[in-house]
Every structure is written in C-alpha cells, then in structure tokens.
Structure 1
C-alpha cells in the first residue's frame, strides 16, 4: 500500500481485493456478498468522514468510549460495530451506541447485554466471539462451551444472535490462517442450519488488513479492515 494513496483509493483497492477473493471461492457460492467494516481505532474523525463519503457504511471501533466521543462530531449516518472486548461495566453504553456487537465472549456478558437492551427497549444484535485457535492472548469462547452458550442465549429476549466472529493468530505466513477460517465457516453453517429459535444467523466476521482476502475465500461476509484503509494508527491524534 503506497503512502501516496488517498483513503478513497485505498477503499477501492480493498473492495477490488474482496471481489477477487470472492471469485476464488471454491466451496461456497461466490455470489455471497461481503460487507466491509472500516476499523477506525485511533484514527481521527476527519479520516472517518472521508471514508464514509467514499462509500463506507460500516464503522468498527474497539473501544466504547472512543466511539461515543467520535459519534458526537462525526455528522454521518453509519452502522456502528463494536469489535473489541466489551467489559460488563461498559455494556449500557455499548448497547446505546452500537448496531452490532461482535465480541460477545461469555454467557454472563450476553445476559448483561440483554438486561441493558431491555431497559432501552431495544433488541441488540450480537455475534459470539469464538476462540477456535485457543490463543490465551485472545478473548472468545472455546468450541466445547459454545453449544451450551448458544442454548442459553436462545432463552434471552432482548438479544438477537446474528452469527460469529473470530480472530486468527498472527502467523508469519498468512496462509496458515486458512484452516482456521474454513473450520469457522463450517461451524457457522452448522449453527445456521440448526436455526436457533431466536437467532437470525447471517454474519461471519473474520479477516483483518493482513488476512481479509483469505477470510473472504473461506466464507467471511464481514471483514474488519483498518490499516489497509487508513494507514498506521495515529495515536494521540483522534481529532475528537
């Protein structure tokens, strides 16, 4: 990615790479659409506005407070995605701000979201974060605990399960992500076919700037891309 490229040019490049990856799909239909989430952690509001004006409709933030601060001055209509770890003491603020919470990694958190959503008179859309690679450094529920968690989420009234998120290990060879992404797609399909009572399974969120093309090839329909759009994060330069 050239430093001379503008944000709109980078977005166009990412979208072209996504389209190419869809064409390379071998085990799923290549006409399944893929939504691009622009990850704006530590990037200023002006850069976000430029991306939205270039066609971005989905904004991903890692931190609740940063999203709240930016939303006050963004002056654009977008769909907000929480992709970072959510602490229970931030749940009510997250439910107020975000359209889709990707990072639900425990039943306790799902229940707290349910309580907050009920108070707001809202049904909160969520994804369950699965730690399929069993990385101790990452959040997410283990596969062995997932079925029980899904059954309990199905009993809640103010959350709607819409799918899953996973984060691949930071492999030196990005191709090593492929088996994990394929296994995650298989899991997504299994749950989708079971059709839990209260769920609306439609999203598989996987793939970031370094591995999103492989994720798309293996079935992702939400990709979370920051650096490939905005460049390196601009710490202490939020512009909020």
Structure 2
C-alpha cells in the first residue's frame, strides 16, 4: 500500500476499535512516528492531512523540524536526556517521556526562561520490563505531587509502552493499568486540573490500546513506512 492507502487503513481500524467499545473516533488522535523516514516523506505525511508528528532524537529530527515545524504539532516521544532539554524545549508541543525529577526540574527551568508552559506526559513503566524507560507505578503519585508544584509544566496525561507480544491482546492489562492510574490521579486531585490523555498503543497493539482508553496512538512503520 502507498501512504494514502495506509492512512485510510489505519483510520478504518481505529474507527472499528472505537465502535467495539462505544467510543467516538474523535477521541483518538494519531501521531505519525517519522523517525525512520526522510524529510520528504514527513512532508508527504503532512500533505495527507496528518497533523501530529512524533520523533525521538533531536539530532535526527532537526532538518525536518527546521523545514516543516510550522505545519504540524510536534511530539517528542523518546527518552529525553537532561542535557538535551535545551534542544527540544519550545520546539516540541508535547513531551511524552517525563519520568524522573531531574528531568522535570530541567524542563521547568528552561520553560520558565522562555516564559512558556510545556505540555508533558508522565511515562510509567506499567509492565515492569527492565528494558523500558518510565517510572514504576508505585512511584507515580509521589512524583506527580512534586511535578504539580512546578509552574511551567502542565501534565496532559500518562504514557506507557507495552511489551512486544505475539498476541496483541496480551498487552491489554498494561493499557488498562495505565488508564486506572490516570483515573486514580484524578480521584485524588493530585493536579488542580483533570488528567485526560493516555498516550499508549503502537503499530502492533494500537487497537487494544484504543479499546482500553488510548487518546493518542503512536504509529510508525504501519502508517508511514520505513526508509532509513
């Protein structure tokens, strides 16, 4: 399939997943993960009407961002080193990988210097896999309480990555767990505003994630292909 056909196919699958659980398709937004494709293909993605672009390394995305940043909404979805905050702050509309206090302090400091508020997702390692970034669920509430005091960080929601499974349905407990953590944060009023978003689900499991409440799905090869 070409790019247009892949996008249509994914949109159909998103709509079907929403229908299965009685959700509106408007509740789910696609992030086109373009880290493996060229600037030209990233431009094609935007030309097709997809607005949200996901990247995970500043040194790789820099030429794409410089050429196309005014056309899209940019999401930093990879592990963010503290010393790289200065490169991404103010350029990406969302940071999906806030997972430790040192990073929160650095984001807050640089956002304050720019006079902005940065939109972040708290990354939680729900599965407990050692290979995954993110804080342990039992540390979430203490960390969230610390972040709630930072004036230049706004928490949009929570993010997680499920383990790779041969059967996508095996990821369901991970996605359900993230939703339940978000709901608990809201019940306890940890933040002075509701946490509404769940960034979860990738090419192999996004339909299960949607059934469990995902509001953002991060789709790479399945959606945009792979070149580099």
Q: Distance in 2 between matches of 1:204 and 1:195?
A: 17
Equivalent pair of 1:52/1:76 in contact (CA under 8 Å)? no
Alignment coverage as a number of residue pairs:
227
After superposition, give the CA deviation of every residue in 1:38-63 in whole Å (9 maximum; x if it has no partner). Answer: 00002111111111111101000011
SS of equivalent residue, structure 1 residue 189:
helix
TM-score by structure 2 length? 0.95
2:46 aligns with 52
TM-score (norm 1): 0.90
**Aligned residue number for residue 9 of structure 1:** 5
Match of 2:125 in 1: 131
How many Å separate the matches in 1 of 2:192 and 2:106? 17
Higher helix share: 2
Q: In 2 relative to 1, CA 13–171 (structure 1 residues): closer, same or farther, beyond 3 Å?
A: same
Of 22, 33, 37 in structure 1, the residue corresponding to residue 27 of structure 2 is 33
Q: Is the 8 A contact 1:132 1:143 kept in 2?
A: yes
SS of residue matched to 1:101? strand
C-alpha RMSD of matched pairs (Å):
1.4
For residue 199 of structure 1, report the CA deviation from its aligned partner: 4.6
Cα deviation, 1:80-122, whole Å, max 9, x if unaligned, reads: 0010000011001111211000011111111110001011111
Q: Could you tell me whether the CA contact under 8 Å between 1:129 and 1:166 is conserved in 2?
A: yes
- Residue ranges of structure 2 left out of the alignment (5+ in a row): none
In the alignment, is the contact (CA less than 8 A) between 1:154 and 1:199 conserved in 2? Answer: no
Native 8 Å contact 1:162 1:199 kept in 2 = no
1:90 aligns with: 84
Q: CA offsets, 1:138-190, max 9 Å, x none? A: 10000111110000001111100111100000112221101111111111122
Is 1:20 equivalent to 2:39 in the alignment? no
> Given that residues 88 and 112 in structure 1 are in contact (C-alpha distance below 8 angstroms), is that contact kept between their aligned partners in structure 2?
yes
Q: Are positions 1:190 and 2:180 aligned together?
A: no
